Amino acid sequence: MSNQAPLTVTNGKLILADGTIVHGALRCEGGFITAIGADVTAQPGDTVHDAGGHLIAPGLVDLGVFAIDKPAFHFGGVTRAALMPDQNPPLDVPARVRFAAQSGKPDFWVHPLAAATQGLEGKSLAEIALMRDAGAKAVATGRHWIGDSGTMLRLLQYTGMLGMVVMTHSEDAGIVGKAVATAGEMATRLGLPSAPAEAEALAIARDIALAELANAPIHFRKVTTAKGLDLVRGAKARGLKVTAGVTPAYFMLSDLALAGFRTYAHLSPPLRSEDDRKAVIAAIGDGTIDVIASGHDPRGPEDKRLPFSDSAPGMAGAETLLPHTMNLVRDGVISMSRAFELVATNPARLLGVNAGKLEVGAEADIAVVAPDRPWIVDSSKMAAVAGNTPFDKQPVQGRAVALFKGGVAVLQK
């Protein structure tokens, strides 16, 4: 991609790496940003894109997706995604990691997450160092929590030595069992198998203790309850290497969305109470949450058009990640620059990649974003391979109107 003509994106509001927003332009050459600011102009031979006064932002970095769905990611302004190891077969050997790392090129970068244990069974550690050498950027426990504390401690000690982050699912499996909902009035009314929200806090408390013992970094991929967020907040206050993420469903929806047995609202972990939803919003506002990701998990009718307890959890989220994050800006929860820290800068830093920011020397992954552009989420017209979204037919605002990967256009509307 670096053999293309240099690119200059002009007439936009630049979201700079230091958080300031200034009117100007940026220039890219050889796949990297070479100049940025109010006085940047196009050179002879450059490809020029007029941003039309819209935001010029870093391409989104989606941390922890279950499928590589390039049309959906491009629609959503995503230029890179960290692929969860829950594939068939799982990403637990170097050859599979190497193949996954090449699967999106040249117009999309896939960063595989190495399976923490062989077969994602939570027992024996996988070949993590070899997978790192094959292209894995971090380690993940997959859709499940590692119940054996000894295994988890060894994992954290090993990854800490390798300089890799462990991304973990936070639900105590012994408590959750086959639950598909959070214990409470809605689960009772629907007669659904449920587990208390405290299952999350118990898992987080143990893993924080083990991460502190190992002096290793840990990332809680989805923290969705007030008690879990309090634990993360306390760990950060003690200076531990703890980060936390969430997906938009948990600040947009509560378990009331399960009414009518809507399987598109069957997620993992399950949707929480309204109080927990408000706690997630507060945690995004005060900095407890470091990452907002899509959790993109497209599921076809064969997985969703079933009795609620038999359906598969997950939703297609790549296309709605940006507009739902823009909601937080419009509601005054976060600033515009903070929004792109959550969806681009911080995920890139956790993966150790030179992206997610607009500064000279960074890779030229650039999104031109119209933050107030209205559109309707329509599951039947989504670019994803499956439109399993609980936000079907809802109006949203915010859309990528142009996208560049390594300075080369992959989307222009």
First CA to last CA distance, the chain: 21
Nearest to 243 by CA among 347, 336, 341, 110: 347
Q: Is the pLDDT of residue 113 over 60?
A: yes
CA distance 231 to 144: 20
pLDDT tens digit sequence for 207-260: 999 999 999 999 999 999 999 999 999 999 999 999 999 999 999 999 999 999
Q: Is the pLDDT of residue 1 over 50?
A: no
Mean of per-residue pLDDT scores for the chain: 96
Q: Report whether 264 contacts 388 (CB < 8 A).
A: yes
CA distance 101 to 163: 19
What's the number of CA atoms in the CB half-sphere (13 Å) around residue 181?
A: 27
Give the list of residues 6+ apart from residue 383 with CB closer than 8 angstroms, or none. 69, 71, 72, 74, 75, 319
Q: Is the dihedral of CA 67, 68, 74, 80 positive or negative?
A: positive
Q: Is the pLDDT of residue 4 over 90?
A: no
Give the list of residues 6+ apart from residue 54 with CB closer than 8 angstroms, or none. 12, 13, 368, 369, 370, 371, 401
Whole-number pLDDT of residue 34: 97
**In terms of pTM, does the model score above 0.85?**
yes
Q: Is the dihedral of CA 105, 75, 50, 33 positive or negative?
A: negative
Indicate the SS3 state at residue 409.
Answer: strand
Alpha helices in 118-172 (DSSP H): 128-133, 149-162
Whole-number pLDDT of residue 89: 96
Nearest to 343 by CA among 376, 313, 320, 362: 320
Cis check: omega of the bond before 301, within 30 degrees of 0: no
Mean pLDDT, rounded, for 138-164: 97
Instruction: Write out the two tokens for 90.
Output: 């799982």
Indicate the SS3 state at residue 216.
Answer: coil
Domain 59-354+385-397 class, CATH top level: alpha beta
Instruction: Write out the two tokens for 256.
Output: 């009331």
Whole-number pLDDT of residue 412: 79
Mean pLDDT, rounded, for 292-317: 95
Domain ranges, ordered by start, for the chain: 59-354+385-397
Q: Report whether 358 contacts 14 (CB < 8 A).
A: yes
